[in-house]
Each structure stands twice: as C-alpha cells, then as structure tokens.
C-alpha cells in the first residue's frame, strides 16, 4: 500500500502483515462492474448538482468506460499494492484522465461506495438465482405431468406409508422452490434502498441528490438513515438465509435420488451423464452429482453462520470486519448457482422404473389406511375402531405372507364379520391414489391439474 490514496496523516508505510490481512482485491475484483456503475451514477449526479463541472463528469464517464472495457478484455493490471477494487479503479482513472479523477470521490466514502457495490452485486445474484430456480421448477413440473399417474411408495420415517404418485412427489419440490423464490424476492425488495451518498456515516454537506443516484442504479429509494445505510448487512444475511434454505431443499432431493437410485430401492435411474464408476468395482454406478449437491449445502450454510458471527458484535457504523462479508458470500452464491444447474439437469435426466415403483408401492401393506377409511365410510364406526380392526387384518396377512389386496374376504371377516365385500375394491395401489382427490392430494387428476397450472405460470 505504498500508493495509499488517503494517507496524508500517516508518516510511515503500513507493516507487511497489515497489507496482507487488509488486501481484498483477490476476491472483491468481482465487484468491478457494480463499482463502475455506481461511480458513473455518482459523477453524473455531481455534475447535475453543479458540484463538479460537466466537462470533468464527461472525462470521468469516458475513463470509467475504458476501465470497464479493459477489465472485461482481461487487459487490466491488478496489484496487491492497491488493496481493493475501488482503489484500483480510482488509480487507473487518474492514469487515464489526470486530476479530474480526484473529483469523483467528492461527497462519498468507501463506506457507502462498498455498500452500494455489494447491494448491486447481491441484487444481480438474486435475479440470476430466481431464473435458475424457475428452470428447476419447470423441469420438475414437466416430469410431474408426464408421470402424474405413476404409482410409487410414499414414505414416513423412510418406511412405506401410503401409495402416492411420482408426479405428486415431484410437485412437492415445486412448492418448496416456490417458497424459496418468495424468500429471495422478499430479500430483494428489502435490499433495494441505495446507500450511495450516506458517505462515511453522517451524510454530507454537499447538495447531492440521492434520489437521482438511487433511480439511476435501479433502487426504489435512498436509504433513509446514513448510519444504517453504511452499516447494514441484513441484505447479505437474508440472501444467505434464503440460499441456505434452498440448498437444504436441494440436499433433500439429492438424498432421495441417491436412495432411489440404489439397487436396494431401484426406483429411478440416472444415465451415464450423471453417474461415475468405481476404481475397483466394475459394476458400480455412483450418483456423484447428487452426492455433491448434497455435500455443497454445507458451504452455503457455512457462509451464513460465518457472517452471523462477524456481525453479531459490531457497533455502528462501519467496521473493517465487514470486509469479511464478501468472500464467503461470493462462494455461497456461486455454489448455489452450480448446484441448481446440476439438479435441473439431473431432474431432466432421471427416469423412473415404473414397474418397480408400483411393485414397491404395494409392499409394506401400504393400503391399510384405505381399508380403515372404507370401514368408517361403510360401517359408520369411529376411525380409531376401524384402525384397530385394520391393524389386526394387517398382522394376519403379514403372518400368512400375503399382500393385503390378496387377503380372502372370509379371513378379514374372521376379524370382524361386519366387513363388507366392497372392501376388496379399495385395496389396490391404483385405487388408493385415485381416491385421494382432496385438495392437495395425490390423485392423478389433481397432479395433472397442478402440473399444468405450474407450467402455465412458468411459461412452459
């Protein structure tokens, strides 16, 4: 930091270890586009307000455009001697246009500048994440429509519970992702206040127009309190919270894919594009993509926890601790982008083993609840009584080693002579799912309707 740009008060250069711990250019260079956009908006406003000349504002804008082009074309030289992206841009601007570059920092601070840059970056990341989530929803909804009537076992405690359809199961994740998108949208709405012009912490005595810069940068309004504007990192915590919940949902689906694709279950297959082999066992087909999506959840959640710890003890306003907001956030959002792309591709790729799904749905006496419900409807008995009768029939069938739908009527009537012959019509897994017509239920008609509704909403 020999070229410290605000070091008039200092008599000696900083220690090397301070330079090392202070430098952020290794990661905050990602903010170059946002930093340049904020600077252009600030310079244009300064000229409009008569704080700097129109001529200097034009020089600044042209210089910033040149820097943007240089960085995009990998022609820009980065150096650890200049600690961050803001210093790099300002130093290069001075090289390009001379003393006029020094006017750009009028009526702003690094504090409001970095907060603005990071808000712009996170806002862009939210928009990209929302688009990726919509693509995953679309992939799930398309597969749900195709397999709306494909019967599979539904599980609780990972034990066979009741038959559901594969389409219904996939639509559960469409609903989860809808909530994820809602959380990101909420975070975006709250972050969309501009810190620019709050300066270091107290505002500025220059007659700036913060509404103008807010509008130029796509913010809804300027942040109302200068202290809060520069010290707020709620938008990072909210976004990482939404990202963490999303990552958990993806991990749950990954876990199901791993389980379903195992030979012991055999419910789905992934193609060679999403499986790998073993270095020693020739027969292996490992669902590595799903396993890595599951594992990378830890990186996203870890970023949230790390930044909670950074923020928990900070007094107002800005502290250098806040530099630790970026590196892990960049990693978490990039990780989420990667796993979303991987999951969307896997969903498109996986294919259910329809016959095995149906066979598995028939195991474990999964239609016992249908038996109990039928007795309530036909005999008018309390559900708890029908539950006990059905349990005794299941125990009898299990002891005989026969499925419930193959249980002779006389054997069931031996448990309770009131059991009607009509019970034999409700014990198949197909009949079970068809009967679940209540709103939100697994009946194929419900699933098709919901899938089509989602696809229409998502633009197919």
Where in the sequence numbering do the catalytic residues fall? 157, 278
- β-strand pairing of 268-269 with 351-352: antiparallel
Residues 442/433, Cβ–Cβ less than 8 Å: yes
The helix (H) or strand (E) run that includes residue 19 is helix 16-22
437 three-state secondary structure = coil
How many Å apart are CA 341 and CA 292, to the nearest integer?
A: 12
Count the neighbouring beta carbons within 10 Å of the beta carbon of residue 451.
Answer: 24
Residues 225/195, Cβ–Cβ less than 8 Å: no
How many Å apart are CA 136 and CA 134, to the nearest integer?
A: 5
How many Å apart are CA 110 and CA 233, to the nearest integer?
A: 15
CA atoms within 13 A on the CB side of 246: 33
The candidate with the shortest Cα–Cα distance to 249, out of 349, 347, 122, 124, is: 347
How many Å apart are CA 428 and CA 424, to the nearest integer?
A: 8
The sign of the torsion formed by the CA atoms of 87, 92, 98, 101 equals negative
| Cα 283 off chain centre by | 35
How many Å apart are CA 95 and CA 97, to the nearest integer?
A: 6
Residues 300/336, Cβ–Cβ less than 8 Å: yes
Three-state SS sequence of 236-264: HHHHHHHHHHHHHHHHHHHHHHHHHHCCC
Instruction: Give the DSSP letter of residue 286.
Output: B
221 three-state secondary structure = strand
Three-state SS sequence of 26-77: HHHHHHHHHHHHHHHHHHHHHHHCCCCCHHHHHHHHHHHHHHHHHHHCCCCC
First to last CA, the chain: 54
Helical spans, DSSP H, in 79-233: 85-97, 110-146, 166-191, 210-216, 226-231
Helical spans, DSSP H, in 314-402: 327-349, 354-362, 368-379, 383-400
């Amino acid at each position: 930091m020999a070229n410290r740009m605000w070091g008039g008060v200092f008599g000696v250069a900083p220690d090397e270890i301070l330079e090392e711990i202070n430098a952020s250019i290794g990661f905050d260079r990602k903010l170059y586009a946002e930093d340049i956009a904020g600077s252009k908006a600030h310079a244009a406003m300064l000229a409009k307000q008569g704080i700097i000349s129109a001529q200097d504002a034009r020089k600044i804008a042209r210089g910033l455009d040149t820097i943007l082009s240089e960085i995009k074309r990998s022609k820009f030289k980065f150096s650890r001697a200049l600690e961050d992206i803001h210093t790099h841009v300002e130093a290069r601007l001075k090289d390009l246009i001379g003393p006029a570059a020094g006017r750009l920092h009028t009526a702003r601070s690094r504090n409001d500048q970095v907060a603005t840059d990071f808000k712009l970056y996170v806002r862009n990341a939210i928009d990209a994440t929302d688009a990726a989530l919509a693509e995953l929803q679309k992939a799930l909804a398309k597969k749900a429509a195709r397999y709306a009537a494909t019967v599979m076992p539904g599980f609780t405690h990972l034990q066979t519970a009741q038959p559901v359809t594969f389409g219904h199961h996939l639509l559960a994740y469409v609903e989860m992702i809808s909530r994820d998108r809602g959380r990101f949208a909420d975070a975006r709405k709250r972050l969309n206040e501009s810190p620019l012009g709050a300066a270091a912490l107290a505002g500025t005595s220059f007659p700036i127009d913060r509404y103008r810069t807010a509008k130029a940068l796509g913010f809804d309004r300027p942040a109302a309190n200068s202290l809060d504007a520069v010290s707020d990192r709620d938008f990072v915590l909210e976004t990482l919270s939404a990202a963490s919940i999303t990552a958990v949902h993806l991990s749950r689906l990954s876990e199901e894919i791993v389980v379903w694709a195992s030979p012991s279950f055999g419910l789905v297959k992934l193609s060679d594009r999403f499986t790998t082999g073993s270095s020693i066992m020739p027969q292996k087909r490992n669902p590595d993509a799903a396993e890595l999506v599951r594992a990378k959840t830890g990186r996203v959640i870890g970023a949230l926890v790390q930044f909670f710890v950074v923020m928990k003890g900070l007094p107002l306003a800005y502290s250098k601790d806040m530099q630790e907001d970026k590196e892990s956030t960049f990693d978490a959002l990039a990780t989420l982008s990667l796993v979303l792309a991987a999951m969307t591709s896997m969903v498109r790729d996986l294919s259910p083993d329809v016959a095995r799904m149906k066979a598995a749905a028939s195991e474990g006496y999964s239609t016992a609840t249908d038996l109990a419900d039928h007795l309530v409807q036909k005999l008018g008995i309390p559900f708890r009584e029908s539950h006990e009768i059905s349990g005794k029939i299941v125990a009898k069938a299990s002891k005989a080693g026969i499925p419930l739908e193959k249980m002779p009527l006389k054997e069931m009537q031996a448990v309770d002579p009131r059991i009607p012959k009509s019970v034999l019509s409700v014990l198949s897994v197909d009949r079970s799912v068809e009967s679940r017509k209540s709103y939100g239920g697994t009946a194929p008609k419900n699933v098709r309707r919901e899938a089509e509704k989602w696809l229409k909403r998502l633009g197919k």
